[in-house]
Amino acid sequence: MESEKTLSFFQSRQTPFSSPFFLFFFTILIPLLSFFLFSLRHKIWCNCNTCRSCITSSWSKDFDNLCDWYTHLLQKSRTQTIHIHVLGNTITANPSNVEHILKTRFDNYPKGEPFSMILGDLLGHGIFNVDGNLWRFQRKMASLELGSVFVRSSAFDNVATEIKTRLIPLLYSVAGKNEGVLDLQDVFRRFSFDNICKFSFGLDPGCLELTLPISHFAHSFDLATKLSAERAMAASQWIWKIKRVLNIGSERKLREAIHQINILAKEVIKQRRKLAFSTNQNLLSRFVAITDNESYLRDIVISFILAGRDTVASALTSFFWLLANHSEVELKIRDELDQRIQENQDFATLEQIRHLHYLHAAISESMRLYPPIQFDSKFAQEDDTLPDGTFVKKGTRVTYHPYAMGRMEAIWGPDFMEFKPERWLKSGTFCPQCPYKYPVFQAGIRVCLGKELALVEMKSVAVAVLQRFEIKVDRVGYAAIRFEPGLTATMKGGLPVVVKERSTHAGP
Ligand code: HEM
């Protein structure tokens, strides 16, 4: 009965009609019509060098990742803005444009229909995928939760417990063993998954238990985000839409993954309702108290997992990769820890974590070069002109590109490719950059709500790990990162490391 209900809920999101007429209508007419509209709106063929390279993927001969190719084009552009005609996509790395899109003309640049369709099956009406009043309401509720001092301090307690009882014992268990190669990316994904679930729903999935259990939920979640991101990369929307109606290939896999996610999300909500009168309040219980719309609650659950899991894991993975290649930075972090945290102290306090300026600078610098969300797109509602003079036609996709922005000489100076935490410090004190130059957490009206929480989480992990262990990347000649296609930056092949116990620390 339960699974029947879940199935009907699932089906109502996917294929509302199944008679032969509707099948014909959806498989033939709608795609043809959308292709026709698409070709009216965009140039479907363009012979300029950039579009040819885009269509034939010939850029991949010279660049490891698509984001590196875009960076190259943006670095060469006089205005730091480019337009990929065949994709109808204006991409910018110009801070004045970013401020214009994210603040000054915020109302003209919503997420827009095309993206909410691409991510709609996975995210539904969750905060990441909606505009207008639906967004405003969720943002208000989430701000209340994330802005509270009490909530922040109990979030820190959760993180500290996860580190003490799971992360550290796991690293000790592999340290010094010959076969002790560990995929740090996988470890951080498990770690941040446990944390975001505890924080948002008050439930512990235990993904980072010593046995590293296989989580079907986490697996389905990975698959669904990857396949949803692939929809956005298709040359035209009608390609995935046809596959979706026919239920074939990647769309079939996506449907199955979302089905698994829905079953588990439903379980989370059921348990939350049972515990409704407990003192353990969290984000989901705020929403459960005001709505009994299962589908809406499910969407909120999914958006928060997406917000807090992959982003933090991605940031931690590239941070440890950079440290392994920059021992001078690691030494300076250790010096700061030695000065600020007593030798016999089991775990740093929240106050101490907040005052680690050099570590804060190193993490910010790491996300400058490797932002967890590499680009973010909006859709222009009306014709507009960006501050750099670029004309934007109504309906155009407009993308700001934090990955490229972290590599612009005009923003960071001639040493922009160096990993240099010092650029964030003035007389040893951390100084934040203008958020429109560094939109790693987005900026303006829809700025990330979990920024402080994420920074405390990352700093806590860095302190606990660096005090106890030496981490060496287990990959000879591993000079550049290759990314998997996805919504957040994920290293292809993970981050295999060898862990060694440091002799100077007092112990677990
Ligand atoms: C290093 C970690 C993180 C990074 C780099 C990051 C970055 C971002 C970015 C770029 C956005 C805008 C996305 C978009 O609109 O498409 C965003 C939105 C958001 N983030 Fe984060 N995030 C991080 C961690 C977190 C955590 C841990 C939480 C929750 C506990 C969180 C909660 C949110 C929420 C709720 C939004 C939606 C805001 C809105 O649409 O009004 N984030 N984040």
- Does 5 have pLDDT greater than 60? no
Residue 163: how many CB atoms within 10 A of its CB? 22
- Does 29 have pLDDT greater than 70? no
3 CA → ligand 1 middle, Å? 32
The reply to whether ligand 1 has any atom less than 6 angstroms from the CB of 300 is: no
The residue with tokens 């829809």 is 446
Cα–Cα dist 147/158, whole Å = 17
The reply to whether ligand 1 has any atom less than 6 angstroms from the CB of 454 is: yes
pLDDT band at 481 (very low <50, low <70, confident <90, very high): confident
How confident is the model over 320-335, as pLDDT tens digits?
A: 999 999 999 999 999 9
Query: What whole-number percentage of the chain has pLDDT above 70?
Result: 87
How confident is the model over 306-315, as pLDDT tens digits?
A: 888 899 999 9
DSSP assignment letter at 291: -
pLDDT band at 211 (very low <50, low <70, confident <90, very high): confident
498 CA → ligand 1 middle, Å? 31
Which residues make Cβ contacts (< 8 Å) with residue 181, sequence separation at least 6? Answer: 474, 496, 497, 498
Residue 483: how many CB atoms within 10 A of its CB? 19
How confident is the model over 229-278, as pLDDT tens digits?
A: 888 877 677 888 999 999 999 999 999 999 999 998 888 888 877 776 56
What type of residue sits at position 400? Y
List, in order of start, the domains of the chain with CATH numbers.
Answer: 2-501 (1.10.630.10)
Across the range 75-88, mean pLDDT stands at 94
The reply to whether ligand 1 has any atom less than 6 angstroms from the CB of 98 is: no
- Ligand 1, atom nearest to 139 Cα: 41
Cα–Cα dist 25/38, whole Å = 18
The reply to whether ligand 1 has any atom less than 6 angstroms from the CB of 376 is: yes
- Does 43 have pLDDT greater than 60? no
The reply to whether ligand 1 has any atom less than 6 angstroms from the CB of 453 is: yes
pLDDT of residue 203: 84
The preferred substitution site among 103, 125, 196, 311 for testing ligand 1, maximizing ligand atoms within 8 Å of CB, is 311
Mean pLDDT, the chain, whole residue set: 87
Which residues make Cβ contacts (< 8 Å) with residue 468, sequence separation at least 6? Answer: 168, 171, 172, 501, 502, 505, 508
CB 313 within 8 A of CB 188: yes
- Ligand 1, atom nearest to 199 Cα: 30
Q: Backbone phi, then psi, for 386, in 5-degree steps?
A: -75, 160
